[in-house]
Amino acid sequence: MEYTQDLKRAYKTSAILYIAFMLSLVIYLVVFEILKAQITDFQGFLEKIDFPWLRYAFFTLGLIQIFLIKFIRETATKSLTTVDVRILTNHLQRMSMLSAALCEVPVILGWVLFFLSGNSNDFYVLLIMSFVLFVMYFPRYANWEDWIKSKISH
């Protein structure tokens, strides 16, 4: 398997970048805690959320990421018909980075919800949701290798 070295290199790069995306959650949390400590009586820019549907919408959008990432990855991988290992490897890297970016959506929604309502619990729940997404969609070398093998064996 002459492609193994290139695949391993691509996977390693993707894993490092994915971990960097995951570490952004720690940065979000630290900045959030500093901000919360500095502004102890923050009630949100809306003072009181008069429309509870907004919270539900944000939580629903966060949950939708689970299915959206899966759908995008499956759709994009099924439509790829090439047997060129370089193109397939680049595709896996792009899907990994797209997945990582989409995994951050809930924590960003948490920030927005906090600024609107002042409720820090919303931020924490959406932060955890992002973390779970990162764990769910972390790239796995065995999956990459199996997928490449299935594509070039056809």
39 inside domain:
yes
Range of the domain at 34: 4-148
42 inside domain:
yes
Mean pLDDT of 39-53: 73
Q: For residue 119, what are its two tokens?
A: 């409720």
State the total domains in the chain.
1
Task: Identify whether the C-beta of residue 113 lies closer than 8 Å to the C-beta of residue 123.
Answer: yes
154 inside domain:
no
Q: Three-state DSSP class for 91?
A: helix
34 inside domain:
yes
Q: pLDDT tens digits for 64-75?
A: 999 999 999 988
* Residue 102: pLDDT over 60: yes
Residue found by looking up tokens 């980075």 in the block: 97
End-to-end CA distance of the chain: 16
Q: CA-to-CA distance for 10 and 8, rounded, in angstroms? A: 5
46 inside domain:
yes
Question: How many percent of the chain have pLDDT more than 90?
Answer: 61
Task: Identify whether the C-beta of residue 108 lies closer than 8 Å to the C-beta of residue 30.
Answer: no
153 inside domain:
no
Q: pLDDT tens digits for 103-146?
A: 999 999 999 998 888 889 999 999 999 999 999 999 999 999 99
11 inside domain:
yes
Q: CA-to-CA distance for 69 and 35, rounded, in angstroms? A: 31
